[in-house]
Amino acid sequence: MNVVSLIEKTVLNGVEKIFDKSLSSVEFVPTRKDFEGDITVVVFSLLKVIKGNPEVIGNQIGTYLQEELEVVKSFNVVKGFLNISLTDRFFLSAFADALLDTSYGTVKEKDPQAVMVEYSSPNTNKPLHLGHIRNNLLGYSVAQILEASGKKVYKTQIINDRGIHICKSMLAWQKFGHGETPESSGLKGDALVGKYYVAFDKAYKEEVAALVASGMEQATAEKETSLLKAAQEMLIRWESGDDEVVALWKKMNAWVYKGFEETYKRLGVSFDSYYYESDTYLLGKDVVAKGLEQGVFFKKEDGSVWIDLTDEGLDEKIVLRSDGTAVYMTQDIGTAIQRVADYPDVNGMVYTVGNEQDYHFKVLFLILKKLGFSWAQQLFHLSYGMVDLPSGKMKSREGTVVDADDLITEMAATAESISEDLGKLSGYTEEQKASLYHTIGLGALKYYILKVDPKKRILFDPKESVDFQGNTGPFMQYTYARIQSILRKADFDTAVLPSFEGQESFLHEKEVALLKQLFLFPETIQLAAQHYSPALVANYTYDLVKAFNSFYQNVSILGESNEELKVFRVALSRKVAQVIQDALGLLGIEVPERM
């Protein structure tokens, strides 16, 4: 039984014994920083059962707790709040338990029912960009957190590898590429294909301008260009299985997939399965036909199939065109069902997709519920805001996006510049420096993005993110490296904690504050999993690092003359380092041993 449960049980017994009243539960709140105490009971909530002055009632219950429980050192009552201080013995015992737990904070026995997390889901006509980085980091981190919380997790994506935008890149390469390949150009495959997506847009706009100059209306010109018509014709040929178009599509997609894999590796994210729109875009048609028979969908006069969601506050949504072709919703219905067929233990899915698709996922989830799938109750749209730069909004067609690979390289260069200015890397080889710059730069990027609530829009500033002070990734990494330096100098065993026999009060207030923050880690993982929010883990880690640095500045560790205290403080530092490493690991951030 944890201490909160123990105190709750004792308060309930005390209320019955002192006041002859029965309660079912006790309300706890975090102790305010300006109050003395470790746990706070809200006395106000007891007044619905116990009549009287809240301060008098609080003192009576506090006295009972102190008499009944050895872990209660003292208490005070401020208005309607009973603030309870715990003994040093309690903190020492709780820390001893945590010290023995090598995977502290994580749930070891997994839920037999799994959750599938979808993220990335790029188009194959361009490289991954800054927006994809937020998507990947969020999805991967949520998968890590869910797994740590006790869930079985499958990481997946759907690759958008068909459609007019893909054909635009293909057509431009045919017209302007002169057989250029990733090998001949020195470009990554995704960057090469993206180059021709931009080339198509440039040529298309020039053709529109020429048509307008000849007297054609702008709106008409935009539809009548030879380039657009050729791209549309290519899409029709692809959908009919034309050998030449399909061969070109396969060749250029293979370039892109290889480029994506390189970026994923650099970014430190991975997947357990891949789905392709070219395979899934027809999947939902049979489901729609069955739903039509069941009355879930209805057919309009032109033959198109719809669902009426007006009773749920939405509108009518098309699920099949009049010519029988699928829309995105049809595809997503089929893909969700196929995933559960492929992984029968899946009982929920998390879709990491930008907030411009909020309405789409409301509709998708409702449709799947109406079709009778029990797992549809466990679907979640991890909706996130866009990432902006000081220079403004990114546009793929115009080539103004921030390429993910370029940004990763820039982050390492920024880390190099700042590290060199600080002069902390004497004795490092050039190879060691390059590895460290990558670790710091990528840690800065990930932490800067993940510390923000997913729903909020981000203005990303690379230089600000690589600050070695404040709520940044490098500050977390530097604190971890500082602890490793302490541990390298500690030439004694910390596996067995000292007993502090005969002493009642032996912990410094900064040690208690650090222990209290340390003990919040398991709860933080569960909360972050419930809310699908890596920001909760990031900001927990910042609070832990702040508590450690305050401890470091206020007590002596290796210089402590009391041997028991010295052993305890080194053991505490070691455990803090482990939790920093584990917490940052949930965010996909590595920690260096030296900085």
Token pair, residue 131, equals 């927006």
Find the DSSP H helices in 423-508: 430-450, 462-465, 473-489
Q: What is the structure's pLDDT at 161?
A: 95
Whether residue 577 is contained in a domain is answered as no
Total Cβ atoms within 10 A of residue 489: 10
Percentage with pLDDT > 70 across the chain: 97
Query: What distance in Å separates the CA atoms of residue 255 and residue 188, rounded to the nearest whole number?
Result: 8
Query: What distance in Å separates the CA atoms of residue 114 and residue 106, rounded to the nearest whole number?
Result: 16
Q: Give the dihedral sign, CA 363/367/368/370.
A: positive
Residue whose pair of structure tokens reads 């919703």 in the numeric block: 329
Q: What is the structure's pLDDT at 402?
A: 82
Q: pLDDT for 143-192, tens place per residue?
A: 999 999 999 999 999 999 999 999 999 999 999 999 999 999 999 999 99
Q: Are 65 and 41 in contact (CB under 8 A)?
A: no
Q: What is the structure's pLDDT at 400?
A: 54
Tell me how many domains the chain contains. Answer: 2
Q: What is the structure's pLDDT at 394?
A: 42
Q: What is the CATH number of the domain that holds 26?
A: 3.30.1360.70
Find the DSSP H helices in 129-269: 130-148, 164-176, 182-185, 189-213, 218-224, 226-239, 243-267
Q: Which residues of the chain have pLDDT under 70?
A: 1, 390-401, 422-424
HSE-CB of 312 using CA atoms within 13 angstroms: 16
Whether residue 454 is contained in a domain is answered as no
Whether residue 405 is contained in a domain is answered as no
Query: What distance in Å separates the CA atoms of residue 436 and residue 418, rounded to the nearest whole number?
Result: 12
Q: Are 155 and 162 in contact (CB under 8 A)?
A: no
Q: What is the structure's pLDDT at 484?
A: 96
Whether residue 291 is contained in a domain is answered as no
Whether residue 207 is contained in a domain is answered as yes
To the question of pTM greater than 0.85 for the whole model, the response is: yes
Q: What is the structure's pLDDT at 423?
A: 67
Residue 303 has what DSSP assignment?
Answer: S
Q: Are 95 and 89 in contact (CB under 8 A)?
A: no
User: What are the contacts of 284-290 at 24+ separation with CB within 8 A?
Assistant: 284/319, 284/326, 284/329, 284/330, 284/331, 284/332, 284/333, 284/334, 284/335, 284/337, 285/320, 285/324, 285/326, 285/330, 285/334, 286/334, 287/333, 287/334, 287/337, 287/371, 288/319, 288/320, 288/330, 288/333
Whether residue 57 is contained in a domain is answered as yes
In terms of domains, do 80 and 170 share one? no
SS3 143: helix
Q: What is the structure's pLDDT at 1?
A: 54
Strands 152-159 and 114-118, bridge-based pairing = parallel
Query: What distance in Å separates the CA atoms of residue 583 and residue 141, rounded to the nearest whole number?
Result: 10
Name the nearest CA neighbour of 115 among 373, 349, 352, 382.
349
Q: pLDDT for 291-305, tens place per residue?
A: 999 999 999 999 999
> Which of 86, 118, 147 is the endpoint of a domain?
86
> Which of 241, 262, 283 is the endpoint of a domain?
262
Residue 355 has what DSSP assignment?
Answer: G
In terms of domains, do 172 and 257 share one? yes
Strands 273-276 and 298-299, bridge-based pairing = unpaired
Q: What's the full length of the chain, in residues? A: 595
Range of the domain at 14: 3-86
Residue 439 CB-density burial (10 A; 0-12 exposed, 13-18 middle, 19+ buried): buried
Using CA atoms of 499, 500, 504, 509 in order, give the dihedral in degrees to the nearest 10.
-100
Q: From residue 266, how far is each of 41, 139, 259, 408 by CA, in Å?
A: 48, 16, 11, 8
Whether residue 211 is contained in a domain is answered as yes
Alpha carbon 1 to chain centroid, angstroms: 31
> Which of 35, 52, 86 is the endpoint of a domain?
86
Name the nearest CA neighbour of 121 among 269, 231, 240, 330.
269
Whether residue 360 is contained in a domain is answered as no
